[in-house]
């Protein structure tokens, strides 16, 4: 049985994984780069080792260093988290060869799903619907023209080694087809060292809905229902929720069964996610499989009542899943907001820097997965995710109300962040009605990027005005007259903000 886990990651997910280890009585080993000496995962771990300079290539992605720390610390397993080495087939294989348990799928499953052309072929053989398009690598320009004659425009040309939106190209007109094909190939070669591309019919205004699955070594595969992930910006998810407002019981049943079939097709082991694209007619197609624990896993944990990291460790120990499909139910509604250190009003440029003050929201129905503290400096080398805020409610309405309440309580100073942007999403009619697809952010830019000067902005102005008034009063009185009664009256101004509207 696993007694000590090396967590080959940083940030909130490293802390998240170590928390489950602690509950299981398993020791955790942290690894960190020189930029992360003061990071929370280093403090939380039972022991921690520096593995190199700040750039990921020389630290969190350095397989040799991580294997060597695992051996010298006596860790019997490695959890890769998400990103970094989590979907690296060579790393999974290397752990196996070294006699270290990789808490994740086999190299075979990772590489089959990592190569999108092979994944499509495997899914077709398993009877999983894929987007109409090529079943093999596009060999030449003649072939790309022939395929488009068959399936019609518009199409997407995608890199086989890509994924998650990297190496994609939309073609709307015949005239741009060959140039787009050539560019897609050369971009794929420089980005991934592999110029294989495939073609899919373009699905207009799709929903992105994914299914969480768990598979044990005994061959049992179950799904833990869906997550709606259509609210994205440049292929970066912003909000995830479960259940999906689009879902019907019948669609859920069919997609769940399909997700299980997809995982079975690669003899999957561990936690994974099947991504689907769903059109307005509720037709669904396999997009890709993520062979790792995902950023948005907490919404599933909250609604289904399962600790996914504990199940991953159970499975890695060779134990069967601790529940059956029939025992699983969706209970209530959960929403996750990702809070980034970035400036939403300035093209979301990352904002590394020192957290000067932080007030974390808590209370009934709120989960907070974070890792920063006052005085901590968010490094510029990694993903600028500060935290994830998860709300739960009996209904979607209650879950939204809790999220709004939690975002209201959440205060961060020192670095610009996306809290206000998330609050604006929570007030957008399309979101409140649950009527949105992957175009949500562009479609609602008026709500999200051009806030009227009222509400919170006006409150800020009221604070400044009253503070100036207060300073003026201080100047006019004797020091011995200072008293609490002289307190700021900004909230009275805030209540009258309709008067202040510009």
Active site residues per annotation? 292
Q: Is 165 in the site for ligand MV4 (CB under 6 A)?
A: yes
Window 285 to 344, contacts with ligand MV4 (CB under 6 A): 287-288
For ligand MV4 (CB under 6 A), the number of binding residues is 17
Q: For residue 243, is the peptide bond before it cis, meaning its omega torsion is within 30 degrees of 0?
A: yes
| Options 62-70, 198-206, 259-267, 326-334: segment touching ligand MV4 (CB under 6 A) | 198-206
Which tokens is 176 given? 């741009």
232 is an interface residue for ligand MV4 by CB under 6 A: yes
Rounded to an integer, what distance in angstroms lies between the CA atom of residue 394 and that of residue 302?
11
Segment interacting with ligand MV4, rule: CB under 6 A, options 113-121, 180-188, 196-204, 450-458: 196-204
Select the residue interacting with ligand MV4 from 21, 29, 78, 131 (CB under 6 A): 131
Q: Which residue bears the tokens 């440049």?
A: 234
By residue count, the chain amounts to 502
Nearer to ligand MV4, 351 or 438 (CB): 438
Q: Using the rule CB under 6 A, is 206 a contact of ligand MV4?
A: yes
Q: Strands, E, within 136-279: which ranges? A: 155-163, 166-171, 197-201, 207-215, 221-233, 236-242, 270-278
Residue whose CB is less far from ligand MV4, 226 or 275? 275
- Residue number with CB closer to ligand MV4 (24 or 168): 168
Would you call the peptide bond into 251 cis, given omega within 30 degrees of 0 as the criterion?
Answer: no
Instruction: Give the shortest CB-422-to-ligand MV4 separation in angstroms.
Output: 18
Q: Tell which one of 39, 138, 203, 337 touches ligand MV4 (CB under 6 A).
A: 203
Instruction: Say whether residue 262 binds ligand MV4 (CB under 6 A).
Output: no
Count of other CB atoms within 10 angstroms of residue 395: 10
Contact region for ligand MV4 (CB under 6 A) — 11-19, 53-61, 197-205, 427-435? 197-205
3-state SS of 125-164?
A: HCCCCECCECCCCCCCHHHHHHHHHHHCCCEEEEEEEEEC
Of the two residues 275 and 342, which places its CB atom closer to ligand MV4 in the complex?
275
Among residues 173 and 475, whose Cβ is nearest to ligand MV4? 173
Name which of 69 and 229 has its Cβ closer to ligand MV4: 229
**Cβ–Cβ under 8 Å, residues 32 and 48:** yes
User: Within its chain, how far is the Cα of 465 from the centroid?
Assistant: 40
- Tokens representing 144 are 């790309």
Interface residues for ligand MV4 in 417-476 (CB under 6 A)?
438
**Beta carbons within 8 Å of 329's beta carbon, 6+ residues apart:** 304
Binding site for ligand MV4 (CB under 6 A): 131, 156, 164-165, 200-203, 206, 208, 232, 235, 275, 277, 287-288, 438
């Amino acid at each position: 049985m696993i007694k000590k886990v090396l967590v080959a990651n940083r940030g909130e997910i490293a802390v998240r994984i170590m928390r489950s280890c602690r509950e299981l009585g398993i020791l955790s080993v942290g690894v960190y780069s020189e930029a992360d000496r003061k990071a929370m995962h280093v403090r939380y771990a039972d022991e921690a080792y520096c593995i190199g300079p700040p750039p990921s290539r020389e630290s969190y992605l350095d397989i040799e260093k991580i294997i060597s720390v695992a051996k010298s610390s006596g860790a019997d397993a490695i959890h890769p988290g998400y990103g970094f080495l989590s979907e690296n087939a060579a790393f999974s294989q290397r752990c196996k060869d070294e006699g270290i348990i990789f808490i994740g799928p086999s190299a075979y499953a990772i590489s089959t799903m990592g190569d999108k052309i092979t994944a499509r072929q495997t899914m077709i053989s398993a009877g999983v619907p894929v987007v109409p398009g090529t079943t093999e690598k596009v060999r030449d320009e003649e072939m790309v023209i022939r395929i488009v004659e068959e399936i019609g425009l518009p199409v997407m040309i995608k890199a086989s080694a890509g994924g998650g939106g990297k190496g994609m190209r939309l073609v709307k007109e015949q005239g741009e087809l060959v140039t787009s094909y050539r560019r897609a190939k050369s971009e794929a070669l420089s980005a991934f060292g592999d110029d294989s591309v495939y073609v899919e019919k373009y699905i207009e205004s799709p929903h992105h809905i994914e299914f969480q699955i768990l598979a044990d070594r005994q061959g049992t595969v179950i799904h833990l229902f869906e997550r709606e992930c259509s609210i994205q910006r440049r292929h970066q998810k912003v909000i995830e929720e479960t259940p999906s407002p689009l879902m019907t019981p019948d669609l859920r049943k069919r997609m769940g069964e399909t997700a299980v079939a997809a995982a079975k097709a690669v003899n999957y082991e561990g936690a994974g996610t099947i991504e689907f694209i769903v059109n307005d007619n509720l037709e669904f197609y396999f997009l890709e499989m993520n062979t790792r624990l995902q950023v948005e896993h907490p919404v599933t944990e909250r609604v289904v009542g399962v600790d996914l990291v504990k199940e991953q460790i159970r499975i890695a120990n060779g134990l069967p899943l601790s529940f059956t499909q029939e025992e699983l139910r969706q209970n209530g509604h959960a929403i996750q907001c990702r809070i980034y250190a970035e400036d939403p009003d300035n093209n979301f440029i990352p904002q590394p820097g020192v957290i000067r003050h932080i007030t974390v929201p808590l209370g009934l129905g709120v989960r907070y997965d974070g890792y920063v503290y006052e005085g901590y400096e968010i490094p510029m080398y990694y993903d600028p995710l500060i935290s994830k805020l998860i709300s739960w409610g009996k209904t979607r309405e209650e879950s939204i109300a809790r999220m709004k309440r939690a975002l209201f309580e959440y205060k961060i100073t020192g670095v610009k962040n996306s809290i206000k942007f998330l609050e604006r999403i929570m007030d957008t009619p399309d979101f409140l009605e649950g009527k949105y697809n992957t175009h949500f952010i562009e479609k609602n830019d008026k709500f999200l990027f051009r806030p009227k000067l009222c509400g919170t902005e006006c409150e800020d102005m009221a604070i400044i005005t009253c503070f100036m008034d207060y300073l003026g009063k201080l100047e006019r009185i004797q020091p011995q007259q200072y008293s609490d009664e002289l307190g700021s009256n900004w909230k009275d101004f805030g209540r009258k903000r309709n008067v202040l509207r510009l």
